[in-house]
Every structure is written in structure tokens, then in C-alpha cells.
């Protein structure tokens, strides 16, 4: 399999209209009185509705929505261009591998287990089909982190799709993968984080072979032996006979395997869609954890740890309703609002499996229990200078328990988009890197989610901005997903059809 060829400027998302309304066929006379066939009265309303339906389709297409196809991967994995579905022969994880306009793709590496998959079976797929709400931004201006379709000023006959990061009048700068607006870091709310985050590892997919690098390590920070064990269903914590009153945290620690380096190391900006060695290799410390849990009355508290720099951020969530969650970071202690204590206790006492989401993106800590925020976002201003990185063998994320009786069905690790300061294999000096770029009164700065290969506001030679007058609309639905699902008929070879589970609103 050939390496992706990346020219100095990648061909970007020339959208193509996917469907158009057909011309109505004329009704042909077939005899009857006066040379016409009489139309049965029961059929007449249906026949008469055809012109109305045709006119309605034209009005919708002209004024409301239009369908487009995405040919390239500048917004992957949010929106997929032409690609191959690769099924990992080691852990069974399925992911998309981008294909350029010449049919070339990078060397496939499984983002979940790191396996080299040059000989793995693949299925050729087209790009996602979108519905775009036309003229949407005549009613209100775009918001930060919103996906937009627009005409590129340097190629006014081509429609592009990107995400807005800079608004009119702002000074935009990219620092260490983050967006800074007027010299302050731009933060995302929970929904925006979920829209852009990239999956790093899912514990449900585990290679059976002995050559696999184990991803999870169990460690009790006190003297007690760990109570954690794993099986095919997930992880379970049971007491080892030593009283839990010691209040030591028993951790499940995530150890990352870099697919590009085939060894343990920090999480980097690797994107499986691009293939091997097509990223900046920059370290990413904006991470998130998602877990499916079952608690017992003996589960006293939960903890989450993010190794952001040399001093980790540690979140502790008591479940008895007496104390609110608290955070330690950079030698300081932070207490959340008192109401969070009751929220956590009520959640712990509820029946059935529960979900926990915790993230530390853009120096903002957010926690959600069953999708409901536990407390208001806790913003922790980054140091004035770039923080010193932690050691490469420090576990980047960990989930801990005080007490016992906790069951974890699966764990997912995510990372934030890391906006690179250069385009892969291009010497172009980017806008908004090294110094802020000031936007005009009706100008927007846009970036692709697949930052290592996205030709966007950073690299347009003439100007980095998109004037408001060139905004075409808001993409709101992937109505025909490019990802497929196999369907077998009488045990024969599978037929690949669009996966209806991938129909989704675009955030």
C-alpha cells in the first residue's frame, strides 16, 4: 500500500451536488373519449400532487437545503472523505483510512492497538453526504466551533467545509495546539468538546495475542494490594481483605502505545485516517475519559487523574453526599460548589449502569454524570510560559476508586484536536502562528479538524480570512454515511451498505 502523496497544497473539499430534481415526465394520451384516457377519481389526487411535489423540491433546494458530498479528509474524523474501511485483524477495531484523488492511501495503523495492517482486508468507501442549510447565516452570524460551508476567496467556484475558530474583530493565534483569542485561551463547552474529540483507545477491543502491549495497569497508591482485575467484560474492583478505611486510591492507569512508534509513550496527534507518519508528532495533553460504571454501597469515592505537565490534575468525587468534589492541581486545592455533593450522591444511589465523563481540554475541567454536568466548568489558567511536559512513561489518564465493589464495563480515552503550526510536507509559513492575526469586521478564521493535512486559514496564500458574504450555509446532517455495514445473503460474500447508525447531526 502506497504512502499518501501530499502536495504543497492539498485539494480541498470541492463539493459536488449529490442529487437534483428530475424533470417531470409528460402524460401520454392513451385513447378514450376525445383522445384522452379518463383518470380514475381515486388516482387523481396522487397524480395532481406530482407537480406540487416537484415545485416543493425546487423550493427546498433553492432556498432551504442542498446535498453535497465530501471528497477529502480535511475534517476527518468528523466528516469523512473518500476512504477505506479497515478492520483490525488484531483487536477487531474498525477505522477509516483516507484515500487521495490518485487512489493512494497511507500505511494503515490501528489507532486502538497500534497493529500494522498493510495486509488487512479493506472496503472502498465514498465520502459522507451532507445536507446543508442554505443562507442560514443571513439570520445569525456563525459561532465559534461551528462547522460552516463557504466559498474560498482564492477559489470562488469551489465550496469548502471547515470549523470556525476566529470571529470578526478578534486576534487569533495558535499556541501549542490550542486557539488563543485576544491573548486568552479559547475554551469549549461539553457539547463542543464531544464534537471535536478524537478516540485514542477503547478498552472493549483487546488483541488476544501475547505480543500486544497491555494498556491498563492496576496500582494502589497506598500499601494495600490492588483490588482490580480484568476479564472479557471489563474491569472489576473487589476488596483484598484489607480495610478500605485507609482511604487510599486504587487506580486503573492507562498506558499509551504510539502507533507511529510501536512502543509506550505519550499521546501524540496521530490520526489513523492519514496513515503512518503523516502528523506533526506533537504531544497532546488535552485528554478526556469516559467510563460505563456499576457501583455498590461500598464504593466510597471516584477519582480521575490527568497527567497535564509534571504535576497531575487529580479530581476526587465523594459519593456520600457530605463533601463536594475537589481538585488538586499545580500545588493548589480547588473546591467545587456544594450542590455537586448531592448530585453525586443521587447519581450513585440510582439504579442500573451509570456513565462518567471527565475532560481536561483547554485548561478547563468538566465532569458529567449520565450526561448531566456535575459542577460548573472549572477553568484553570495555563502558566504564562509553556508547561514542562511530564515524563514519557507517566500514565496520561487514570480512573481510581476509594472503597470497593466498582465494576467498569468499558473505558474510552479521547484527546482534543491539536492545531499544528505547519502543513505536512509543506514549507509554507502559516498565518496566526508566532503572532496573532487580527480579523476585520466581517471576517472569519476557519480550520479543519484534521489539522496535519488541512489546507485552511493558516495556509491560504492571498488571505487567511473568509468574508461573511462568502458563507454558503450550515451543514446539519450526514444523511448518507460513507461508513458501511456488511449484509450477508444466504451466507454469501457480504454486501456493504451505508450504516444507518452513522446518520448523525453535525456539531
205-233 pLDDT tens trace: 988 766 678 899 999 998 789 999 998 88
SS3 letters for 158-204? EEEEEEEEECCCCEEEEECEEEEECCEECCCCHHHHHHHCEEEEECC
8 Å CB contact between 193 and 357? no
pLDDT digits (tens, 9 = 90+) for 78-121: 999 999 999 999 999 999 999 988 888 999 999 998 889 998 88
User: Does domain 216-254+285-415 sit in CATH 2.60.120.560?
Assistant: yes
pLDDT, residue 152, reads 85
* 1-173+444-507 and 216-254+285-415 share one fold: no
Average the pLDDT over each of 87-91, 420-424, 430-434 and give the range with the smallest value: 420-424
**What is the model's pLDDT at position 56?**
45
Domain map of the chain by residue range? 1-173+444-507, 216-254+285-415
pLDDT averaged over every residue in the chain: 83
More confident residue, 484 or 7: 484
Please say if the pLDDT value at position 392 is more than 80: no
| Mean pLDDT along residues 413-419 | 97
Q: Are the C-beta atoms of 112 and 412 separated by less than 8 Å?
A: no
Closest by CA to 93, choosing from 201, 167, 216, is 201
Going by CATH, does the domain composed of 1-173+444-507 fall within 1.10.10.60?
A: no
H or E element at residue 44: helix 44-59
Q: How far apart are alpha carbons 504 and 476 in whole angstroms?
A: 8
Task: Give me the torsion for CA of 294, 299, 305, 311, rounded to 10°.
Answer: 180
Phi, psi angles (nearest 5°) of residue 12 = -105, 135
Q: How many CB atoms lie within 10 A of CB 27?
A: 11
Amino acid at each position: 500500500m502506497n504512502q499518501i502523496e501530499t502536495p504543497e497544497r492539498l485539494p480541498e473539499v470541492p463539493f459536488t451536488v449529490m442529487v437534483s430534481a428530475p424533470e417531470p415526465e409528460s402524460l401520454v394520451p392513451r385513447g378514450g373519449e376525445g383522445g384522452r384516457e379518463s383518470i380514475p377519481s381515486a388516482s387523481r389526487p396522487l397524480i395532481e400532487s406530482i407537480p406540487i411535489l416537484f415545485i416543493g423540491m425546487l423550493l427546498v433546494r433553492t432556498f432551504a437545503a442542498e446535498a453535497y458530498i465530501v471528497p477529502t479528509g480535511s475534517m476527518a474524523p468528523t466528516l469523512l472523505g473518500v476512504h477505506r474501511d479497515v478492520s483490525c485483524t488484531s483487536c477487531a477495531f474498525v477505522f477509516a483510512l483516507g484515500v487521495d484523488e490518485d487512489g493512494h492511501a497511507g500505511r494503515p495503523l490501528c489507532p486502538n492497538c497500534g497493529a500494522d495492517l498493510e495486509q488487512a482486508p479493506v472496503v472502498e468507501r465514498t465520502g459522507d453526504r451532507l445536507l446543508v442549510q442554505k443562507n442560514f447565516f443571513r439570520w445569525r452570524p456563525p459561532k465559534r466551533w461551528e462547522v460552516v460551508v463557504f466559498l474560498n476567496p482564492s477559489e470562488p467556484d469551489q465550496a469548502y467545509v471547515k470549523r470556525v475558530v476566529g470571529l470578526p474583530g478578534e486576534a487569533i493565534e495558535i499556541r501549542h495546539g490550542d486557539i488563543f483569542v485576544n491573548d486568552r485561551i479559547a475554551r469549549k463547552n461539553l457539547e463542543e468538546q464531544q464534537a471535536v474529540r478524537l478516540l485514542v483507545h477503547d478498552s472493549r477491543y483487546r488483541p488476544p495475542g501475547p505480543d500486544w502491549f497491555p494498556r491498563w495497569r492496576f496500582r494502589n497508591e497506598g500499601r494495600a494490594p490492588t483490588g482490580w482485575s480484568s476479564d472479557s467484560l471489563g474491569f472489576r474492583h473487589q476488596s483484598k481483605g484489607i480495610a478500605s478505611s485507609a482511604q487510599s486510591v486504587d487506580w486503573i492507569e492507562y498506558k499509551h502505545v504510539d502507533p507511529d512508534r510501536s512502543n509506550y509513550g505519550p499521546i501524540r496527534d496521530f490520526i489513523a485516517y492519514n496513515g503512518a507518519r503523516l502528523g506533526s508528532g506533537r504531544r497532546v495533553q488535552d485528554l478526556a475519559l469516559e467510563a460505563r460504571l456499576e457501583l455498590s454501597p461500598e464504593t466510597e469515592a471516584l477519582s480521575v487523574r490527568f497527567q497535564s505537565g509534571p504535576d497531575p490534575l487529580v479530581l476526587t468525587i465523594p459519593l456520600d453526599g457530605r463533601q463536594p468534589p475537589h481538585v488538586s492541581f499545580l500545588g493548589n486545592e480547588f473546591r467545587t460548589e456544594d450542590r455537586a455533593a448531592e448530585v453525586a450522591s443521587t447519581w450513585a444511589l440510582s439504579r442500573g449502569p451509570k456513565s462518567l465523563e471527565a475532560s481536561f481540554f483547554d485548561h478547563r475541567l468538566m465532569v458529567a454524570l449520565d450526561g448531566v454536568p456535575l459542577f460548573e466548568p472549572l477553568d484553570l489558567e495555563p502558566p504564562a510560559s509553556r508547561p514542562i511536559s511530564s515524563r514519557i512513561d507517566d500514565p496520561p489518564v487514570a480512573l481510581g476508586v476509594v472503597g470497593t465493589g466498582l465494576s467498569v464495563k468499558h473505558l474510552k480515552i479521547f484527546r482534543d484536536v491539536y492545531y499544528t503550526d505547519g502543513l505536512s510536507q509543506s514549507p509554507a509559513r502559516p498565518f496566526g502562528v508566532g503572532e496573532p492575526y487580527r480579523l476585520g469586521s466581517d471576517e472569519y478564521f476557519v480550520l479543519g479538524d484534521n489539522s496535519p493535512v488541512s489546507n485552511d486559514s493558516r495556509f491560504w496564500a492571498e488571505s487567511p480570512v473568509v468574508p461573511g458574504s462568502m458563507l454558503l450555509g450550515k451543514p446539519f446532517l450526514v444523511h448518507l454515511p460513507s461508513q458501511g455495514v456488511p449484509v450477508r445473503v444466504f451466507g454469501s460474500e457480504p454486501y456493504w451498505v451505508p450504516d444507518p447508525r452513522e446518520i448523525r447531526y453535525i456539531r
